Chain A
Amino acid sequence: MTNSSTRDRNAQSVRSLSTRLRSHMALYGYLPADAPMLERAELFLSRAGDQILHRLFTFERYGIQLALRPEFTTPALHRYMQAADQGHVARWQFSGTIFEDDPASNRIDYERLSIGAELIGLGTDAEARLGADAEIIAMATHGARAAGVDSVRVVIGDVQLTRKLIASFELDPRTQNFLLRHVYALGDPALGKNYVLDQYDAFLIADGTLVNASDAVNPAANSQIQDILNSLLDATERGMTMGGRSQEDISRRLLRKYRYAAQRDQIVHVLDVLAEWIQMGGPYSQALAAIRSFTPLIERGSDQIKAMAALVDTLECYDVDAQAIEIQPGLIRDWDYYTGIVFELYAGAARHIAGGGRYDELARLIGSDREIPAVGFVYYVDALQRAISGVGDEGVRVFTLCSAQINTAEAVRWAQTLREREVAVRLLPSAAVACDLTLTPGGALRYDGTDYAPEQADMLAAALKRVSQ
């Protein structure tokens, strides 16, 4: 087997998957659209999250910084903004290559296929936005099923709810953004609260530069400190360069650092609340009840909580099983532009196959004078392909046969025996994945709790064919 033939087969499989997904989205009225491969980097730099931003594939040409498209959402909205008839509803689907650099590694596979959809311009009122959110989530879920994923788990969060929760502590905007971006870490056992506090100390307080928390909360003391700093800066400024910053810029920042240090105890408290908040995730009905009773949000978040309940009701109308829906309050997706409902789709327990959400404020960030309602999603094609790899292009079920090593003689003989009986089999080492067929030490093949001896191959093949049909 050559690498090129493997690649060809893989390309064929991806084409087939792409065709299925695009046909599915066309049923919802989403028209194929395209976006420029190259854009001015500023289009992406203005709003991407910091975790993503350094992965932009950028280069300079004649003094202009360009970027290869890292996603379709921003170019789609940009295109919508440039259209003459703004105010129309655009339902676009995209399928094409996107690019991602990874400066930290020596990887050279910069490009991958992205398939997704954007619904732009629908949602001038809450009801319309709800309808748009439900349509996108339902289309994404059913698309994954149409592609061959048996069981799709839908995880929903609302960035706005978490924003409101953080805002209730009346911290400055930069601290609020810091907390929002670190909510994920609270849910990661390897990171947790101490990690976030370390980050707070390192990046907001930035230890060691004229910071002392005492008296920082006292307005009179602040004013006095400001005067002292200005005097200090007067002295240092004589004959010195300021590098584009004024005395006020420097003294304001020193005071801010001072306040960061002073509010550290409050940050510890906020992190405790946020940790409690993200623990409320779980099956839809159970999680929603818990969120409704979460004191800090009872007043501020009631509209969002009602909207979330209505969204699930609407998804049920779309025949999305409510049992497969989970609410995760701490769900914050990587891109910074999400402003409302966010969601992720999983195949089985852990494989993340799609994600998306609402991004109404993105238009302003890329130059619009008004907010434009928009919601979209993207399939992670590689993961989706792996999730459905049990299904061949022709719809044939491929069974996974596991042994201690791929090429043990017994495993190979069993695989060939089944293939002769027109059962598709792939060999994998036992530790790799969940197995359909397991080779026992005695040389039998275990399927569905029953051991089949070599002379029972016909019986086993018949059983496998029954489930593959």
Chain B
Amino acid sequence: MNETVTLALPSKGAISEPTLSFLRDCGLRVEKPNPRQYTGAVPAVPRLDVLFQRVIDILYKVADGTAQLGITGLDVVHEYPHDDVMVIHENLGYGECKLLVAVPESWIDVGNMADFADVALDFREYQRRNIRIATTYPHMTRKFLHAQGIHHFTIVNAEGAIEAAPTIGYADAVVDLTQTGTTLRENHLKPIGDGVILESQACLIGNRTALREHGAALEAVRTMLEYVDASLQGKNYSQVTVNMRAANIDDIARRLAANPITRGLQGPTIAPIYGVNNGTGDQWFTITLILSNKSLLQGINVLREHGATDVVVAPVRYLFLDRSPTFERLCLALGGEQS
């Protein structure tokens, strides 16, 4: 029985380098012996081979089981849905972009999708043709427009330079991915506010059958998710160490635990500092806390109010919970038989 598991990664395109960086940050460094080869390995996960492919081919490779796991764009997964492909982790936190409807800036009468629907009727009524929409996402575009009550349109399938289609003249509007909107603006296009079809980012996908039946695939994904979850969780927190003077440990613990911001994950770790005595009878302690980045400064101020000084803040590289929540969800999705 072949116990090797294959992870397909983007060989080029917008999420290629960010994927390698992301995995490296998670502790899953990818080794690629030869830059011209399409294979590699992840030393942190035993028997995990890497296959470099285009983002669209990653989906196909995972769908047909050639690769059991893959990292690609959520937009690709939604555009080409496949029964045997499941999204294991849908927000890896990079490659963020939006798939949206954009129209020429000169269409000053169009500010929302209701306007767009009305213009589509104008094309039928005055030009005796459908409004033409250039996109590489025909499936999602059709679904979205129908859901908006827009039924008379023609999809112009195009590859690359979609934004230029209205200027060149082979389409009237576009549905395209955008990160900052700069390319749209440079081509005199504007996004429609309520025309966002999908908010996409990089995601981890897997072959459902392989994950159910191939124990090594599930084991590999468990290892990956442990690192990925811990790394993503860690980005949300900082480790804060302060010195504080108090009568005793209980006094500090009571004061800090009373405030949700300074309670940390479970509670503060407090250790006495030996050799310091200011003659008041109070003792110095070192307190270590894990604080949410969202309320970091607020937390530090609370600590200061309690007399804290010498505040040291360090990033949390990993935060491992009792188990990987994503892996737990995966097991539930697979029917619970592997939990």
A237 proximity list for chain B (CB < 8 A): 106
Q: How many angstroms from the CA of A210 to the CA of B119 in the assembled complex?
A: 15
Within 8 A of B (CB), among A180-232: 202-204, 206-210, 232
CB-CB under 8 A for A245 and B152, given A232-B108, A240-B104, A257-B109:
no
Question: Min CB distance, A99 to chain B, in Å?
Answer: 16
The verdict on A236 contacting B106 (CB below 8 Å), with A45-B151, A53-B151, A243-B173 known, is: yes
Interface-located stretch among A248-256, A285-293, A308-316: A248-256
Please tell me if B110 contacts chain A, counting CB pairs below 8 Å: yes
Interface residues of A in 44-61 (CB under 8 A from B): 45, 50, 53-54, 60
Smallest beta-carbon distance A115→chain B, Å: 27
Contact residues on A (Cβ < 8 Å of other chain), bracket: 20 to 34
Determine if B122 and A249 form an interchain contact, defined as CB atoms under 8 angstroms apart.
yes
By the criterion CB–CB under 8 Å, are A206 and B112 in contact?
yes
Which residues of the partner chain A approach B106 to less than 8 Å between Cβ atoms?
233, 236-237, 240-243, 245, 250
Q: Please, which residues of chain A bring their CB within 8 A of the CB of B126?
A: 249
Among A239, A245, A249, which residue has the most Cβ atoms of chain B within 10 A? A245
CA distance A243 to B104 in the complex (A): 6
Residue contact A204 to B118, C-beta cutoff 8 Å: yes
Once bound together, how far apart are the Cα atoms of A204 and B132, in whole Å? 21
Residues of B within 8 Å of A244, CB to CB, are 123, 127, 131-132, 166, 169, 171-172
**Are B166 and A243 in contact, with the CB atoms below 8 A?**
yes
Interface string of B48-79 (1 = CB under 8 A from A): 00000000000000000000000000000000
Q: Hey, which chain A residues are within 8 Å of B104, CB to CB? A: 240-243, 245
- Residues of chain B lying within 8 A (CB to CB) of residue A257: 109, 118
Interface flags, B165-187, vs A, CB<8A=1, else 0: 01101011100000000000001
Alpha-carbon distance between A177 and B126 when the two chains are bound, in angstroms? 16
Looking at A103, A250, A254, the one whose CB has the most chain B CB atoms below 10 A away is A250
Docked CA distance A233–B126 (Å): 19
In the complex, which of the residues B105, B109, B132 has the most CB atoms of chain A within 10 Å of its own CB atom? B109
**Is A104 in contact with chain B by the CB < 8 A criterion?**
yes
B interface secondary structure, majority? mixed
A174 contacts partner chain B, Cβ-Cβ < 8 Å:
yes
Interface 1/0 per residue, B244-261 and A, CB below 8 Å: 000000000000000000
B98 CB, min distance to chain A CBs, angstroms? 20
Please determine whether B166 and A54 come into contact, CB atoms closer than 8 angstroms.
no
| Chain B: interface size category | 35 or more
A56 to chain B, nearest CB (A): 9
In the complex the two chains form, what is the Cα distance from A305 to B225 in whole Å? Answer: 72
- Chain A contacts for B108, CB-based, 8 A: 209-210, 232-233, 236, 250, 254
CA A241 – CA B106 in complex, angstroms? 7
Task: Give the residue name and chain of the B residue nearest to A247 (CB).
Answer: B106
Q: What are the interface flags for B107-122 relative to A under an 8 Å C-beta threshold, 1 for contact and 0 otherwise?
A: 1111110110111011
Which chain B residue lies CB-closest to A257?
A: B109
Say whether B47 faces chain A, with CB atoms less than 8 Å apart. Answer: no
Is B235 located at the chain interface by the 8 A CB criterion?
A: no
A192 to chain B, nearest CB (A): 20
| Chain B contacts for A203, CB-based, 8 A | 114, 117-118, 149
Contacting pair A250 B114 (CB below 8 A): no
B: residues with CB less than 8 A from A are 103-112, 114-115, 117-119, 121-123, 126-127, 131-132, 138, 143, 146-147, 149, 151-152, 166-167, 169, 171-173, 187-189
In the complex, besides A240-B104, A253-B119, A253-B122, 19 extra interface pairs with C-beta distance below 8 angstroms are A45-B151, A50-B149, A54-B151, A60-B138, A203-B117, A209-B111, A210-B109, A237-B106, A240-B106, A243-B104, A243-B173, A244-B132, A249-B126, A250-B107, A250-B109, A254-B108, A254-B109, A257-B109, A257-B118
12 contacts between A and B (CB under 8 A): A53-B151, A203-B117, A206-B115, A209-B108, A209-B112, A240-B104, A240-B105, A242-B104, A243-B104, A253-B109, A257-B109, A257-B118
**In the complex, the 7 A-B pairs of residues with the closest C-beta atoms, listed nearest first:** A54-B146, A209-B111, A244-B172, A243-B166, A206-B114, A243-B104, A53-B151
